[in-house]
Amino acid sequence: MTRYAVSFNKRHHRTGHLFQNRYKSVVCEEEPYFLELVRYIHLNPLRAGIVTSLSALDTYPWCGHSAIMGRTTRAWQDRIPVLMHFSKSVAEAVLLYYAFVDEGKERGKQPELTGGGLTRSVGGAPLRKENRVAYDARILGSGDFVTRVLNEMERRPDRQPVDKDGVIARICEEFGIHQEQLRNGSRRKAVTEARVRIIEKLVNESGVSLTEVAGLIGISPSGVGNVLKRVRADR
């Protein structure tokens, strides 16, 4: 993996991990924003210049637009919920959807579709107190929607802080190994079994992210994921 990333970076004059930065998701208020997001996301290849026209986008394989248009079929992509926003007739819905996407192709980037309350829609300008609305960059919707989501989050019981270093120290002591051995790539049976136990404890029981656990025990996030898959298969 490292060798390929290095050669790729040299070839394309870039630096860093081949895939980096965390996946980002935004809670979306469906009624006013769903179709705008569908259009905005599916126009990404056209905005980026990967395809040169909307007709080329119709057959572009790395975008959901081609499936909605019926040009390709993907078992995991359900096009009907999108099309039913336009018409109960699939044939008519496809035409209306296409016209809707075509109408939005000149709009360019739309910062208001990246999350936040209505303050995003007014450019983040200071608002008079009586006109202020709730705002959160993790949420795309009206002020009332933002407030409702945040209130729901507050009602959920918070996880207790996890003493990650303490968990690792206890498991290393149990298996009779030093913590340094976790990070130096050792494949001794005791070290491997300790890693599995740590992953189970921190990820499954405490909700620590795969990336964070990977950094603590000296393997890649995909390696942590593979360990979890094996554990689940064995069960």
Boundary of a domain, candidates 78, 103, 128: 103
Of all helices (H) and strands (E), which one includes residue 28? strand 27-28
- 87, 93 contact by CB (below 8 A): yes
How many domains, the chain?
2
Give domain status of residue 235, yes or no: no
Residue recorded with tokens 């507050």: 154
**Residue 128 domain flag:** no
Per-residue pLDDT 10s for the chain (235 aa) are 678 888 888 898 887 777 765 566 677 777 778 888 899 999 999 999 999 999 999 999 999 999 999 999 999 999 999 999 999 999 999 999 999 999 988 876 665 555 444 444 344 444 444 444 556 666 777 777 778 877 777 666 555 677 888 999 999 999 999 888 888 878 889 998 999 999 988 887 777 888 888 888 888 888 888 888 887 776 5
Other residues' Cβ atoms within 10 Å of the Cβ of residue 40: 19
Reading the block at residue 180, the tokens are 């340094």
Question: How far, in Å, CA of 115 to CA of 137, rounded?
Answer: 5
Q: What is the pLDDT of residues 34-50, one digit of tens each?
A: 888 899 999 999 999 99
Q: Quick check: pTM over 0.75?
A: no
Phi, psi of 128 (to 5 degrees): -60, 150
Radius of gyration for the chain, computed over Cα atoms and rounded to the nearest angstrom: 24
Name, in order, each residue with C-beta under 8 angstroms of 31's C-beta and a sequence gap of 6 or more. Answer: none
pLDDT digits 0-9 by tens, 76-107? 999 999 999 999 999 999 999 999 999 988 87
Q: For residue 68, give both structure tokens.
A: 């909605």
Domain boundary among 65, 81, 103: 103
Best CA proximity match to 40, nearest among 107, 87, 119 = 107
List Cα–Cα distances, 11 to 4, 6, 18, 64, 228, in angstroms. 10, 9, 12, 29, 34
- The answer as to whether 16 is a domain residue is no
Give the three-state DSSP class for 182: helix
Is residue 120 domain-resident?
A: no
Q: Answer yes or no: is 113 within a domain.
A: no
Phi, psi at residue 83, to the nearest 5°?
A: -65, -35
Residue in 127, 146, 128, 148 with CA at minimum distance from that of residue 137: 146
The answer to the question of residue 193 being in a domain is yes
Which range marks the domain in which residue 46 is found? 27-103
In a domain? residue 85: yes
Sequential DSSP letters for 102-115: HHTTTS---GGGSS
Residue 208 lies in a domain: yes
